[in-house]
Amino acid sequence: MTQQMPKLASYKRIILCADGTWLASDQGDKSVPSNVAKIARAIATSGPDADGNIVKQIVSYHSGLGSGDLPFQKAIYGGIGRGLDVEVCQIYDFISNNYEPGDELFFFGFSRGAFTVRSVASLVGDFGILSAVHMSHFAEMWKAYRENTDGEPFKKTPWYQQNKDKLRLTEDLRIKVVGVWDSVGALGIPEWPLVRLATKLGIAINKHAFLSDVDYAFQALAIDEKRQTFLPTLWHKTADAPAKDLQQCWFPGVHGNIGGQAEDPRIAGDHEEIGDITFAWMVDNLSGLLTFEEAAIEVLIKQHQQALAENNTKNNVINGWGCGPIVSNFSGLQGAFFRILGKQDRTPGNYPRAPGDGIDGATNEYFHPIARIRKSKLSNYNPMSLYGYSIEKPGSDAGWMWNKKGGQAVPEYVMRPEKKMTMVHEGGYKTTSSLSRLLCPKTLLADLDGDNVLLRHAYITEALLVNPQISRTCVEKVEHHPKLRITSSSVLIKDLVPSLFHLLGVNSGARRCSYILQSGERTNGEPIMLA
């Protein structure tokens, strides 16, 4: 009997990636790739969907503003932001040339590249997609869209009503993912009227309200960024937004750390130690949504470990998870420019309202565990952005929590073991552990899992709830038992079965009881005999 070949899916995945200012991984230089470049390179050309069909994955990478060779070009395009309109047009044009009804759209960006993809996603969600034949109308459409600053739905504006018949738009589409690293304003400098007038800039509309056409949105944010002109742009989820998931997670580091930005390859290890963790967090969130190249992921893990070891030996860098150096944005000639523009500490958990647009909604913020680990290991790590926060240990029904008097409580992100990574492997595909858990030292991972009541509950439920004698009360008794510590790394559930039944007070006798291991597979396919 011949094995049936998997079917080719009727749709494809289109992945748009826009890099940060001065960053380019498509121009043949020796610049260290940012997280945007890494994800563009790591995505496989195809992957399975939930039904086992093979989906083509098409990636388009766009280098950052000011990434040209000339110093003048870097200064003007990067420092002021000229060229943003060109970026938006290029990305939208790629979508227009490749999109077919039913395709899934993914957007990834860092810094002003994050602003760019958010702008394009807003445009696609609000407006639709022009066919390649009708792209001649894009310039006037984009101009009308970005000038619609009064909050009126674009399709109700006079311009749209007058021109909709000639546009022939593809509408009623869904955006699968928008994933960004530290999204900031378009320019990175105050949008002074004189600057706009002098440069004749067109400023894109970058909405704070969470897009109703997006299924998943993820943003990694920098705790330690202090440049006043790099204030974060958080999403706010309104009550009518039907999105499946919005997560915005805070990490130690400045803007460049979060995006994996390193201008000198020799310092990539210590500069990108935090960036690798923010990259892994993004990949984890794409569990079941995209497929990656195994070779690319293996290289990243190897380079991460080698760079940390080398820096620890040669440069006396603290070799700890999340404890890599945080760079200064206020040193040198460029730093003098930012010192003039001013400093402002960020305020995690205190972005309830988007400035100027009247949007009030949930931001779904989290602190990544490396923030707590860094504070515990480095006595001098006390940024003003975390001032006033107390870190509460997990309670009976919740994980770690960051509390601040007068502010909203921010939960700690949980690196859940059920988040898997699908990769191309030996001509087929395989699923493995999440990248975050692969990068985290095993002993620390065991501590993180063991401290988290949410994971303890998951493991116990997975292990024993096939037995009808075990009531909900009994399960709670096990979860909160002071002598029982269940982790994903240090203990196998099969070794806990006798002690669990003893704690529960259940007389098993010679009864057969099947249970499921953490991997989701039964032991040898057979139930376990309990004495």
pLDDT digits (tens, 9 = 90+) for 335-385: 887 888 889 999 999 886 544 454 567 889 999 999 999 999 898 999 999
Q: Cβ contacts of residue 257 below 8 Å, gap of 6+? A: 222, 224, 251, 271, 272, 274, 275, 278, 324, 326, 327
Inter-residue contact 224 to 197 (CB < 8 Å): no
- In this structure, the answer to whether residues 63 and 195 fall within a common structural domain is yes
Residue 284's nearest CA partner among 386, 369, 395 is 369
Task: Dig out the tokens for 398 from the structure.
Answer: 């919740």
- In this structure, the answer to whether residues 101 and 34 fall within a common structural domain is yes
Inter-residue contact 173 to 126 (CB < 8 Å): no
189 in a structural domain: yes
- In this structure, the answer to whether residues 84 and 196 fall within a common structural domain is yes
183 in a structural domain: yes
pLDDT at 514: 33
Higher pLDDT, 251 or 323: 251
Mutual angle of helices 84-98 and 138-146, in 10-degree steps:
130
- In this structure, the answer to whether residues 117 and 237 fall within a common structural domain is yes
SS3 call for 219: strand
Query: In whole angstroms, what is the distance from residue 401 CA to residue 392 CA?
Result: 5
Inter-residue contact 196 to 235 (CB < 8 Å): no
Inter-residue contact 240 to 358 (CB < 8 Å): no
pLDDT at 209: 63
State percent of the chain over pLDDT 70. Answer: 65
- In this structure, the answer to whether residues 406 and 461 fall within a common structural domain is no
pLDDT at 180: 97
Q: For residue 339, how far is the Cα from the chain centroid?
A: 30
- In this structure, the answer to whether residues 405 and 510 fall within a common structural domain is no
- In this structure, the answer to whether residues 339 and 407 fall within a common structural domain is yes
Cα–Cα–Cα angle for 48, 50, 51, rounded to 5 degrees: 85
- Read off the pLDDT of residues 396-452 as tens digits, 9 standing for 90 and up: 567 899 999 888 899 999 998 888 999 999 889 999 989 999 998 888 888 887 777
Burial of 458-471, coded b for 16+ CB within 10 Å and e otherwise, reads: bbbebbbeebeebe
CATH of the domain at 21: 3.40.50.1820
By the 10 Å C-beta count (0-12 exposed, 13-18 middle, 19+ buried), 181 is classed as buried
Residue 16: φ, ψ to 5°: -110, 125
Query: In whole angstroms, what is the distance from residue 404 CA to residue 417 CA?
Result: 29
Sole residue written with tokens 């958010």? 118
58 in a structural domain: yes
Is residue 487 pLDDT above 50, yes or no? Answer: no
pLDDT at 112: 83
Is residue 393 pLDDT above 60, yes or no? Answer: yes
pLDDT at 404: 92
- In this structure, the answer to whether residues 16 and 115 fall within a common structural domain is yes
431 in a structural domain: no
Q: Provide the mean pLDDT of the chain.
A: 75
pLDDT at 37: 94
H/E stretch holding 392: strand 389-392
Residue 524 belongs to domain spanning: 448-529
Query: In whole angstroms, what is the distance from residue 397 CA to residue 394 CA?
Result: 8
pLDDT at 417: 83
Tally the domains of the chain: 2
pLDDT at 213: 84
Query: In whole angstroms, what is the distance from residue 289 CA to residue 57 CA?
Result: 11
305 in a structural domain: yes
Q: Pick from 391, 411, 431: which residue ends a domain? A: 411
Q: For residue 289, how far is the Cα from the chain centroid?
A: 13
The winner for highest mean pLDDT among 65-69, 173-177, 193-197 is 173-177
Q: Residues 286-310: what's their mean pLDDT?
A: 87
